Amino acid sequence: NYVGFIIYICLICGSLVLIYFFKGWRVLLWLANVSGWVILTGVLFFADLEYSRLINAENATLQGGILFGLLFFWGVPVVRQLQLAKKADSLPPVRFGIFDSTLARAKLSIKETPRLTMIINPLIALGLTQTLWWLPATSQGLIALGGTLLFALVAVWIATKPGQDKLWYVHGFTAVLMFTIALIQLLDGNWLFLALALEAIALHLGTRYLKYASLELIAHLLSLAVTVMLVDRLFTRIDLDQQTPILNLSSLLDLLIIGLWFALTYFLQTKKKSGFQPIYWLVAHLALLLWWQRELESFNQPGLVTVGFGLLAIFFHWDAHRQEHNWQRWVPHLLSLVVTIMLLDQLWYWNATTKVFNLLTFFNLATISLLFITPYLFTEEEKSNFQPGYWLVTYAALLLWWQRLLEPFDMPGLVTVIWGAMAILFHWDARRQEHIWQSWVPHLLSLVITIMLFNQLWYGRAETAVFNLLALFNLAIIGLLFASSYLMMNGKYASSIAWCAMWRCSTGSGESLIS
């Protein structure tokens, strides 16, 4: 007889709660809560009443028992506290009910507001109700939304009464939890993602004015859930048959959420001084990287993602200087390292179908330019520690870029001429640097050029005597070596090398003419 059993349990638990109301023995409230909900849950499953489609005596009585439990387990403690606030001596103070003397000696007290039971009971009642009846997700969401409205109104009503800050906050917190459940059941896809993100932002804003640890905890947990959803979306490739990269609702929504996370980072840093700010900062930047990578990769254009990462590296460097922690300033340097590896891989292994005028060449040059201007954002300490590395990488990449650009023309000596011109630029720029070893880099480049030049002078042969491109290029290289001698610390050695090369060029041209 499940109907009679449910009524009997309600009478027993209701009696325990009424004794708590008049005596203040908290142990009876807990006993009624635990036993009542456990028994009602057992009836729900043992009587096979879950997801009922038709109303009968058993499930109707069980629904009444759930409402009775909500009214007594949640409502009676609220009425008791309001009565004590209205007239302090009308009811005895709250006690545990057993071992009170032991608790007093241990200086352990019972809190006046049973916050945990006030929050959990409405959620249990909502869960049992939604499990009892077969309802579509929309109807379940509307029930949760109705519970949200109820507890929000109760919170507003209690807030009008003096000295009830904790009590109204408990009901407001319960309304927030029910509202989150309602969103999950009413919405899906992009709209659910946006709604949860906006709710997380609102909760974080609320923590500035309401100094409750539970509110901050739920804000961080909801932010974590939104972040997991965001990362999952960012690792999902775009369907190019149905969506346009960047200009589609999902991509724009992802970018909006990332922007909200950046705004939240700024709020946590400037308004709240939260210790979690660096975590949100890192998540926002990594999410932006993943978003760029997903969107630009859809164009299937080599080098485009690298340029995008280079632009982001500049933004990251600028933003890192506004942060408090030293490790945050290392993040953009790691990104620049990734950009460098991607760039060198493209310069060394990738081939474009079109000579010179192709997008890969343009993107690689743009990436080199971004790496070149990045050190201008550094602080004085960073310039001393990191600028030489960026300087060396930029010039090495530029040399490889010229070599890859000119290689398809199959003109011996052309790459050497360009490298000679680059050596002059290196010599001039090295004199502006702080470290001594930087001044030796252009000398090493000049040595490489000299070896390439003598190899061409000794082994290179042109079909046309004297007036041929190889001879012209070799003569140009010799002229560049002469010019370099005026920028080098040991110019006499460069002049000697240039004179030797001139002699070899003359004899080589003479031999070609004679032959």
Is residue 453 domain-shared with residue 490, that is, in the same domain? yes
Residue 162 lies in a domain: no
443-456 per-position pLDDT tens digit: 777 777 777 777 76
Q: Is the pLDDT of residue 56 over 50?
A: yes
373-432 per-position pLDDT tens digit: 988 888 777 777 778 888 888 888 988 888 888 777 766 777 777 777 777 777 777 767
What does the pLDDT read at residue 437?
65
The model's confidence at residue 275, banded by pLDDT at 50, 70 and 90, is: confident
| Mean local confidence (pLDDT), 194-207 | 94
What does the pLDDT read at residue 261?
95
What does the pLDDT read at residue 85?
83
What does the pLDDT read at residue 466?
55
Is residue 103 domain-shared with residue 78, that is, in the same domain? yes
Q: Is the pLDDT of residue 104 over 70?
A: no
Q: Is the pLDDT of residue 15 over 90?
A: yes
The model's confidence at residue 507, banded by pLDDT at 50, 70 and 90, is: very low
What does the pLDDT read at residue 407?
75
The 3-state secondary structure of 240-299 reads: CCCCCCCCCHHHHHHHHHHHHHHHHHHHHHHHHCCCCHHHHHHHHHHHHHHHHHHHHHCC
- With a threshold of 0.85, does the pTM exceed it? no
Q: Is the pLDDT of residue 121 over 90?
A: yes
What does the pLDDT read at residue 515?
37
Lowest mean pLDDT among 20-24, 129-133, 421-425: 421-425
Cα separation, 306 vs 318, whole angstroms: 19
159-172 per-position pLDDT tens digit: 888 878 788 999 99
| Mean local confidence (pLDDT), 229-254 | 88
Name the domain count of the chain: 3
What does the pLDDT read at residue 270?
81
What does the pLDDT read at residue 514?
39
Q: Is the pLDDT of residue 468 over 90?
A: no
What does the pLDDT read at residue 463?
53
Token output for 103:
């608790």
* Sign of the Cα pseudo-torsion (375, 378, 379, 381, in order): negative
Residue 295 lies in a domain: no
Q: Is the pLDDT higher at 243 or at 409?
A: 243
For residue 397, give the DSSP letter: H
Q: Is the pLDDT of residue 62 over 90?
A: yes
Is residue 116 domain-shared with residue 1, that is, in the same domain? yes
Buried b (16+ CB within 10 A) or exposed e, 418-433: bbbbbbbebbeebeee
Is residue 7 domain-shared with residue 99, that is, in the same domain? yes
Question: Where is the domain boundary, 111, 134, 157?
Answer: 134
pLDDT-above-70 percentage for the chain? 81
The model's confidence at residue 127, banded by pLDDT at 50, 70 and 90, is: very high
Is residue 344 domain-shared with residue 433, that is, in the same domain? no
Residue 249 lies in a domain: no
The model's confidence at residue 112, banded by pLDDT at 50, 70 and 90, is: low
Question: Where is the domain boundary, 112, 134, 156?
Answer: 134
What does the pLDDT read at residue 492?
47
Choose the most confident range, by mean pLDDT, from 278-287, 379-388, 491-500: 278-287
Q: Is the pLDDT higher at 452 or at 209?
A: 209
Question: Where is the domain boundary, 365, 386, 410?
Answer: 410
Strand partners, 133: 52
Residue 14 CA, chain-centre distance (Å), reads: 50
- 451-458 contacts, C-beta under 8 A, 24 or more apart: 452/415, 452/416, 452/419, 453/416, 453/477, 453/478, 453/481, 453/501, 454/501, 454/504, 456/412, 456/413, 456/416, 457/501, 457/504, 457/505, 457/508, 458/504, 458/508
| Segments forming the whole domain that contains residue 376 | 302-410
Residue 431 lies in a domain: yes
Q: Is the pLDDT of residue 477 over 80?
A: no
Residue 404 lies in a domain: yes
Is residue 353 domain-shared with residue 475, that is, in the same domain? no
Q: How far is CA 58 from CA 2, 398, 406, in A?
A: 6, 81, 86
What does the pLDDT read at residue 480?
67
Residue 365 lies in a domain: yes
Q: Is the pLDDT of residue 219 over 90?
A: yes
The model's confidence at residue 312, banded by pLDDT at 50, 70 and 90, is: very high
Element (DSSP H or E) covering residue 411:
none
| Mean local confidence (pLDDT), 279-304 | 92
Is residue 343 domain-shared with residue 440, that is, in the same domain? no
Residue 258 lies in a domain: no
Is residue 353 domain-shared with residue 440, that is, in the same domain? no
Q: Is the pLDDT of residue 511 over 80?
A: no
Q: Is the pLDDT of residue 354 over 90?
A: no
Is residue 395 domain-shared with residue 445, that is, in the same domain? no
Element (DSSP H or E) covering residue 134:
none
Is residue 492 domain-shared with residue 373, that is, in the same domain? no
Residue 139 lies in a domain: no
Average pLDDT, the chain: 83
Q: Give 415's contacts (C-beta < 8 A, 6+ positions apart).
A: 402, 403, 406, 407, 452
What does the pLDDT read at residue 97?
58
Is residue 395 domain-shared with residue 515, that is, in the same domain? no
Is residue 128 domain-shared with residue 1, that is, in the same domain? yes
Do 204 and 219 meet the contact criterion of CB atoms below 8 Å apart?
yes
Lowest mean pLDDT among 221-225, 259-263, 355-359: 355-359
Q: Is the pLDDT of residue 252 over 90?
A: yes
Q: Which residue has the tokens 């700024």?
A: 266
